[in-house]
Structure 1
Amino acid sequence: MKALKYLNQYLWKYKWYLILGTLFTIISNLFGIIPAQLVRYALDLVIETVDIYYLFNGTGLQSQMYDIFAFSILLYGLLILGMALLKGIFLFLVRQTIIVMSRHIEFDLKNDVYRHYQTLPTSFFRKHNTGDLMARISEDVSNVRMYVGPALMYGINLIVLFFLVISYMLTVSTKLTAYVLLPLPVLSVSVYVVNNMIMKRSQEIQKQLSGLSTYVQEAFSGIRVIKSFVQEKHSFDNFEKEAENFKRKSLKLTRVDSFFYPIILLLIGLSNILIIYIGGQEIINGNLTPGNITEFILYVNILTWPVMALGWTTSQIQRAASSQARINEFLNEKTTLVSEKNLIKSLEGGITFRNIGFIYPDSGIQALKHFDLEVKQGESVAILGTTGSGKSTLAHLLCRLYDPTSGEILIDGIPLKDYDVHAYRRQIGYVPQDVFLFSDSIRNNVRFGSSDMPMERIEQAVKDADLYRNIQDFPQGFDTVLGERGITLSGGQKQRLSIARAIARDPRILILDDCLSAVDTHTENIILNNLKRIMDHRTSVIISHRVSSAKLADTIVVLSDGAIIEKGTHAELMGNNGAYRELYEKQLVAEEI
Structure 2
Amino acid sequence: MKLFSQLRWFFVLQWKSYLGAVTLLITIALMQLLPPKLVGTIVDGITHRQMDGYTLMMWIGLIVGTAVVIYLLRYVWRVLLFGASYLLAVELRNNFYRQLSRQHPNFYLRHRTGDLIARATNDVDRVVFAAGEGVLTLVDSLVMGCAVLVVMSVQISWQLTLLSLLPMPIMAIFIKRYGDELHNRFRVAQAAFSSLNDRTQESLTSIRMIKAFGLENYQSKLFSDVATDAGTKNMHVARVDARFDPTIYLAVACANMLAIGGGSWMVIHNQMTLGQLTSFVMYLGLMIWPMLALAWMFNIVERGSAAYGRISSLLEEKPEVTDGDLDLPPSRGVLDISIQRFHYPLTEKASLEDIHVSLEPGKTLGLCGPTGSGKSSLLALIQRQFDVTEGDIFYHSLPLRQIKLDEWRARLSVVSQMPFLFSATIAENIALGYPQATQDEIEHAAALACVHEDILNLSLGYQTEVGERGVMLSGGQKQRIAIARALLMESEILILDDALSAVDGRTEYQILQNLRQWGKDRTLIISAHRLSGLLYTNEILVLQDGHVAQRGSHSALAEQAGWYRNMYRYQQLEAALDE
TM-score (norm: length of structure 2): 0.96
Q: What is aligned with 2:569?
A: 585
Q: What is aligned with 1:139?
A: 122
Q: What is aligned with 1:72?
A: 55
Instruction: Give matches, 1:32-47, under 5 Å.
Output: 32-47=32-47
Instruction: Give matches, 1:95-244, under 5 Å.
Output: 95-171=78-154, 172-244=156-228
**Partner AA of 2:92 in structure 1:** L
Q: What is aligned with 1:17?
A: 17
* Percent identity of equivalent pairs: 30
Paired residue secondary structure (1:138)? helix
Residues 504-550 of structure 1 show CA distances to partners (whole Å, capped at 9, x for unaligned) of 11121111110011111122112112222122232111111111111
- Answering whether residue 354 of structure 2 is matched by residue 370 of structure 1, we say yes
Q: What is aligned with 2:332?
A: 348
Measure the CA separation in 1 of the matches of 2:567 and 2:375.
16
- Aligned mate of 2:363, from 339, 360, 379: 379
Measure the CA separation in 2 of the matches of 1:461 and 1:5.
53
- Aligned mate of 1:446, from 400, 424, 430: 430
Gaps of 5+ in 2: none
* Deviating more after overlay: 106-115 vs 487-496: 106-115
1:347 positional shift = 4.5
Paired residue secondary structure (1:501)? helix
Whether contact under 8 Å (1:353, 1:410) holds in the other structure is yes
Instruction: Give matches, 1:251-266, under 5 Å.
Output: 251-266=235-250
Q: What is aligned with 2:455?
A: 471
Q: What is aligned with 1:283?
A: 267
**Partner AA of 1:10 in structure 2:** F
1:83 positional shift = 1.7
- Aligned mate of 2:282, from 286, 291, 298: 298
Measured on the aligned residues, the alpha-carbon RMSD in Å equals 1.6
Measure the CA separation in 2 of the matches of 1:414 and 1:87.
66
**Partner AA of 1:101 in structure 2:** A
TM-score (norm: length of structure 1): 0.94
Q: What is aligned with 1:392?
A: 376
**Partner AA of 1:400 in structure 2:** R
Measure the CA separation in 2 of the matches of 1:550 and 1:453.
30
Whether contact under 8 Å (1:347, 1:412) holds in the other structure is no
Paired residue secondary structure (1:372)? strand
Paired residue secondary structure (2:521)? coil
Instruction: Give matches, 1:25-64, under 5 Å.
Output: 25-49=25-49
Q: What is aligned with 1:55?
A: none
Whether contact under 8 Å (2:3, 2:301) holds in the other structure is no
Paired residue secondary structure (2:135)? helix
Residues 316-340 of structure 1 show CA distances to partners (whole Å, capped at 9, x for unaligned) of 1001101101111111012243343
**Partner AA of 2:361 in structure 1:** Q
Whether contact under 8 Å (2:369, 2:544) holds in the other structure is yes
Measure the CA separation in 2 of the matches of 1:29 and 1:6.
27
Whether contact under 8 Å (1:357, 1:368) holds in the other structure is yes
Q: How many residues align?
A: 576
**Partner AA of 1:36 in structure 2:** P
Q: Cα gap change, 1:232/1:146 in structure 2, threshold over 3 Å: closer, same or farther?
A: same
* Deviating more after overlay: 420-429 vs 177-186: 420-429
1:15 positional shift = 0.9
- Answering whether residue 490 of structure 2 is matched by residue 506 of structure 1, we say yes
Whether contact under 8 Å (1:126, 1:362) holds in the other structure is no
1:70 positional shift = 2.7
Q: Cα gap change, 1:4/1:528 in structure 2, threshold over 3 Å: closer, same or farther?
A: farther
Whether contact under 8 Å (2:422, 2:468) holds in the other structure is yes
Q: What is aligned with 1:411?
A: 395
Q: Cα gap change, 1:564/1:2 in structure 2, threshold over 3 Å: closer, same or farther?
A: farther
1:578 positional shift = 1.2
1:186 positional shift = 0.6
Measure the CA separation in 1 of the matches of 2:399 and 2:55.
89
Q: What is aligned with 1:319?
A: 303
Q: What is aligned with 2:313?
A: 329
Measure the CA separation in 2 of the matches of 1:302 and 1:4.
26
Paired residue secondary structure (2:548)? strand
Residues 354-373 of structure 1 show CA distances to partners (whole Å, capped at 9, x for unaligned) of 13432222666642122222
1:131 positional shift = 0.7
Paired residue secondary structure (1:338)? coil
- Aligned mate of 2:528, from 538, 544, 557: 544
**Partner AA of 1:286 in structure 2:** N
Whether contact under 8 Å (1:438, 1:485) holds in the other structure is yes
Whether contact under 8 Å (1:127, 1:362) holds in the other structure is no
Measure the CA separation in 2 of the matches of 1:80 and 1:89.
15
Residues 154-194 of structure 1 show CA distances to partners (whole Å, capped at 9, x for unaligned) of 11100110111011011121111111221111111011111
Measure the CA separation in 2 of the matches of 1:246 and 1:424.
44
Q: Cα gap change, 1:475/1:590 in structure 2, threshold over 3 Å: closer, same or farther?
A: same
Measure the CA separation in 2 of the matches of 1:159 and 1:365.
61
Paired residue secondary structure (2:7)? helix
Q: Cα gap change, 1:434/1:360 in structure 2, threshold over 3 Å: closer, same or farther?
A: farther
**Partner AA of 1:451 in structure 2:** P
* Deviating more after overlay: 360-369 vs 492-501: 360-369
Measure the CA separation in 2 of the matches of 1:338 and 1:265.
55
- Answering whether residue 71 of structure 2 is matched by residue 81 of structure 1, we say no
Paired residue secondary structure (2:356)? strand
Whether contact under 8 Å (1:367, 1:562) holds in the other structure is yes
Whether contact under 8 Å (1:279, 1:293) holds in the other structure is yes
Whether contact under 8 Å (1:359, 1:366) holds in the other structure is yes
Gaps of 5+ in 1: 50-64
Measure the CA separation in 1 of the matches of 2:217 and 2:349.
37
Residues 451-475 of structure 1 show CA distances to partners (whole Å, capped at 9, x for unaligned) of 2223332212111111010011112
Whether contact under 8 Å (1:187, 1:263) holds in the other structure is yes
Whether contact under 8 Å (2:434, 2:488) holds in the other structure is no
Whether contact under 8 Å (1:349, 1:378) holds in the other structure is no
Measure the CA separation in 2 of the matches of 1:349 and 1:514.
25
1:3 positional shift = 5.4
Whether contact under 8 Å (2:141, 2:289) holds in the other structure is no
Q: What is aligned with 2:554?
A: 570
Measure the CA separation in 2 of the matches of 1:241 and 1:151.
34
Measure the CA separation in 2 of the matches of 1:515 and 1:225.
22
Residues 206-232 of structure 1 show CA distances to partners (whole Å, capped at 9, x for unaligned) of 101111111111111111001111222
Which of 1 and 2 has greater Rg? 1
* Deviating more after overlay: 530-539 vs 545-554: 530-539
Measure the CA separation in 1 of the matches of 2:437 and 2:412.
16
Measure the CA separation in 2 of the matches of 1:307 and 1:377.
73
* Deviating more after overlay: 192-201 vs 527-536: 527-536
Residues 29-51 of structure 1 show CA distances to partners (whole Å, capped at 9, x for unaligned) of 222111101111111112222xx
